[in-house]
Chain A
Amino acid sequence: MTTISYPTFIRRPNEYASGIWGWLTTVDHKRIGTLYGVTAFIWFLIAGIEAILIRIQLSQPEMSFVTPEVYNQLFTMHGTTMIFLVVMPLSAAFFNWLVPLQIGARDVAFPRLNAFSYWAFLFGGILLNFSWLIGDAPNAGWFAYAPNTGVKFNPSNGVTFWIIGLQILGIASLAAGFNFFTTIINMRAPGMTWFKLPVFIWMTAVVNVLIVLAFPVITVALIQLQFDRLYGTGFFNPAMGGDPVMWQHMFWLFGHPEVYILILPAMGIVSEVLPTFSRKPIFGYSFIVFSGIAIGFLGWFVWSHHMFTVGLGPAANAAFSVSTMLIAVPTGVKIFNWIGTLWGGSIKVNTALLFSVAFIGMFVIGGLSGVTHASPPSDAQQQDTYYVVAHFHYVLFGGSLLGLWSGIYYWWPKFTGRFLNEKLGLWHFGIVLLGFNLTFFPMHWLGLDGMPRRVATYPEGMGWDVSNLVSTMGSLLLGVGVLIFIYNIIYSNLRMPKNASNDPWDGRTLEWSIPSPPPHYNFDVIPEVKYRDDFWYKKYPELVDNTHGGGSDYEDQENHEVDHADIHMPDPSYYPLFLGLGLTVMVGGLIPFTGHWVVSAIGLIIFIWSFLGWSYEPVNG
């Protein structure tokens, strides 16, 4: 049986290509994780600048630092960028790096699809932000409520950029979701049953299930909005029988699982960092795991709590109020489990631990303000005020971002072989924590006092001036903290010695059993797993009697010498990059501009060429 030799105009790369071409064609999950991390951080800086511009505009009443039109674009892009281009990709960076390492695999289930996810993310993000360059960024908020986004009130291309960009990012996320979920189910090391998995892997599994189930809904909603705007359908147009509230339903059906997608990875990271630096296993493993699953499941039934003021009626409001309060319970269980982990442990204080502990504190504050939203009468006061802004920044910045930073400090030695400087890290932590609280804590009372969100300025004499100024100062302090972090990265790369051992923190999970940074093939020998936190018990066999969750009656296999030539790793490929490019060009060509169908056709050709090439190229021998 012969294979069709597919015509290629570019030389196929060798097994482990070097240089830039190596990075462009990589299918190695570790490199893809690094790509995600670096790209996401650059978007973080851009979105941060957008935030600082917003804060400058709001520092004093009646400022005209930016026009209201630009202000709308700023908060829209700040939100969209932070959610889709920063927090989700940073989580993806950790998934990429850690999932194969912690389950004892050599790579993910579909390495090329993994690479494609990254390239689609990169090109989609560029397309979305390209709208800034033409002065026509989306301006309807990250939630894009109809009818503001309809063609009648928003005829320019900004919102179309938002729709198209999000579709591409959605496809990238979906592909990653399929990939990681398959990997976790199917590529665990022998003996690693579900209840021996690290908590981070459990959270990753739940997150990827949420992605896989929630993103189709936003895809449909975006298609409907796109058709309304460009092709004259009437999904959200009352004149044709449509209903703008349907957009809210569709969006929040996606949007609420989305916020759990944003927070659960950070919770997973914290659940890894705390046990290591308390030298204790996570307290109540089963409870944390089941709470994570419960959050993922219940998160589907709370969406209308974003719509309490829309007029759904008392029955609907009551039902969603109950379900929202219910979902606070598993979250609370996790908080107690983390505290229980620290309690009585042999605590080692360093930057990673500090960020994780701060996560607990800040997330609890955000959670409390969230619970006050769960009551419709109370929410009627808070809706569309700065109280909401305080709430979600406490859970997203104080939660997700602090958790991600904790993970960065914790795993940096594993990823790069060097440590991040601890002293700079402490400064980074302190300034960020102070700046963050200065920025967002005043927003609680500003909101309760009635300051509306998404409005470019506020009048004098409302009594809001001082708090806004403090908030702006805080945001500038935050900027300084981020600069310190950047300096830390540069310092680490230039000055810190590349001397990290396999296991600098005396960790518990499998990734600490291999060199730092890991070799291309991860494990010399795929480990046979006997216990939860198996690596810990390999190091300290005298502690084996204390194992929770028990071991299986697995016979110990002898380690045999392995010839590394036997290990087959997947070949690099340039098709993921071109498929991502083709997808972006093809879908981007749907934005109406002169000659856009030609652009779309070119994208289609690139897409088909890449798709066929990918299907027919021989997978590694």
Chain B
Amino acid sequence: MSNISATEDHYTSTGVDNRKLMMWIFLGSDCLFFGSFISTYLVYRNRSLVGPYPNEILDIPITTVSTFVLLMSSLAMVMGLSYVQQGRQVLGRYWTLATALLGMVFLGFQVFEFTHFAHVGLTPRTNIFGSTFFTMTGFHGAHVTFGVIWLLIFAFSRLASSFRQKMLIFASFLSVVITMVGIMMTETLDVIPHMPFSLAMTVTIIGILGTIGSLYLLRVPDTEPEKISKEEENLELAGLYWHFVDIVWIVIFTVVYLVSAKDGAPLL
């Protein structure tokens, strides 16, 4: 106990890991960050001088679906963490990958929504609704993107010990990129001219198959019980971050889409 080193987490005053504690403090701080954007949105309700207005443009059914997708990605995250905590690498990484893919689907919905709005004439520069809406959901989307990248890195981490494995990792990353591109293609059908839906879907499915296939081929062995904790910690941190992004979206969905969906021109 006297030889406590500074960074090895042998002993802490509360018994919890430093990094987990810091992640929770960070999440508390991030509440203020998103709270400021959401407050700004709420303050500026019904103040746009020109259209398009929320009641003309917000699509509740599609957003409900994307909310559901994000909630399911949280579920997948929890499943993945549970498997990693048991040391079962393959299942853990599959579920983590599923979380990342669902997150990408959510991002796809966001991209679709943003491009559709731009098509219809709403940009951040059009009116105050555009400014507040795009910055708020845009920064949320940026948080989701960072989370997706983090989860992908985790899903494929520490696998390479031979050239074959390195090639498979590269192939899997490529597949993931292709999946992402495919999803983006499906979401921007009305923006990119002459984009066949079938092509977009084919690209997406090739990407998904490639990802699953490469991970299977990598044949990751299960973790020995003594070594579980490090992996579990890292994924736990990613999980907390991911769930937080989800609950911010719950707040945004309720406050912006459901409660404020019928906003229009300023009341005179």
Contact = CB atoms under 8 A, between A and B. Distances in A.
A243 B128 CA distance: 10
B32 A4 contact: no
Interface string A229-254: 00111110001111100100010010
Interface stretch (A185-193, A291-299, A347-355): A185-193
A177 B116 CA distance: 40
B152 to A, nearest CB: 13
Interface residues of A, number: 60
A516 B158 CA distance: 44
Interface in B143-172: 157-158, 160-161
Given A110-B18, A185-B21, A216-B29, A526 B1 contact: yes
Contact of A568 (B8, B16, B48, B223): B8
Interface string A101-124: 000011111110000000000000
**What does DSSP make chain B's interface, helix, strand, loop or mixed?**
loop
Contact of A221 (B36, B49, B125): B36
Contacts of A253: 36
Given A178-B26, A182-B18, A227 B1 contact: no
Given A186-B12, A188-B13, A560 B2 contact: yes
B57 to A, nearest CB: 16
Given A4-B160, A186-B21, A568-B8, A525 B125 contact: no
B56 interface: no
A448 interface: no
Contact of A217 (B36, B128, B227): B36
Contacts of A239: 49
B196 interface: no
A546 interface: no
Interface in B5-44: 5-8, 11-14, 16, 18, 21-22, 25-26, 28-30, 32-33, 36-37, 40, 43-44
B121 interface: no
Interface centre among A4, A106, A110, A240 (most CB of B within 10 A): A240
Contacts of B36: 216-217, 220-221, 250, 253
B22 A110 contact: yes
B44 A111 contact: no
A371 interface: no
B131 interface: yes
B127 interface: yes
B135 A240 contact: no
A212 interface: yes
A242 B131 contact: yes
Contact of B127 (A217, A234, A526): A234
A2 B158 contact: yes
B245 to A, nearest CB: 15
A605 to B, nearest CB: 16
Interface string A153-195: 0000000000000000000001001110110011110101000
A214 B18 CA distance: 22
A620 B18 contact: no
A213 B125 CA distance: 30
Given A233-B125, A241-B48, A109 B32 contact: no
A366 B26 CA distance: 34
Contacts of B47: 241-243
Contact of A240 (B18, B32, B128): B128
A8 interface: no
B29 A174 contact: yes
B268 interface: no
Contact of B33 (A109, A220, A568): A220
A108 B124 CA distance: 42
A3 interface: yes
Given A178-B26, A186-B14, A241-B48, A220 B5 contact: no
Interface centre among B8, B22, B129 (most CB of A within 10 A): B22
B28 A212 contact: yes
Given A4-B160, A187-B13, A241-B49, A525 B25 contact: no
B6 A212 contact: no
Contacts of B40: 220, 224, 235, 246, 250
Nearest to B6: A107
B25 A219 contact: no
A508 to B, nearest CB: 21
Contacts of B129: 241
A177 B48 CA distance: 38
A180 to B, nearest CB: 10
Given A219-B33, A234-B127, A620 B5 contact: yes
A235 B13 contact: no
Contact of B131 (A105, A108, A234): A234
A1 B5 contact: no
A235 B131 contact: yes
The 6 closest A-B pairs by CB, nearest first: A241-B128, A107-B6, A568-B5, A220-B36, A216-B33, A233-B131
Given A110-B22, A186-B21, A234-B131, 9 more contacts: A1-B223, A108-B6, A212-B25, A231-B124, A240-B127, A240-B131, A526-B2, A568-B8, A620-B7
6 contacts: A1-B223, A109-B18, A182-B18, A241-B49, A241-B127, A526-B2
Interface of B: 1-8, 11-14, 16, 18, 21-22, 25-26, 28-30, 32-33, 36-37, 40, 43-44, 47-49, 124-125, 127-132, 135, 139, 157-158, 160-161, 223, 227, 266
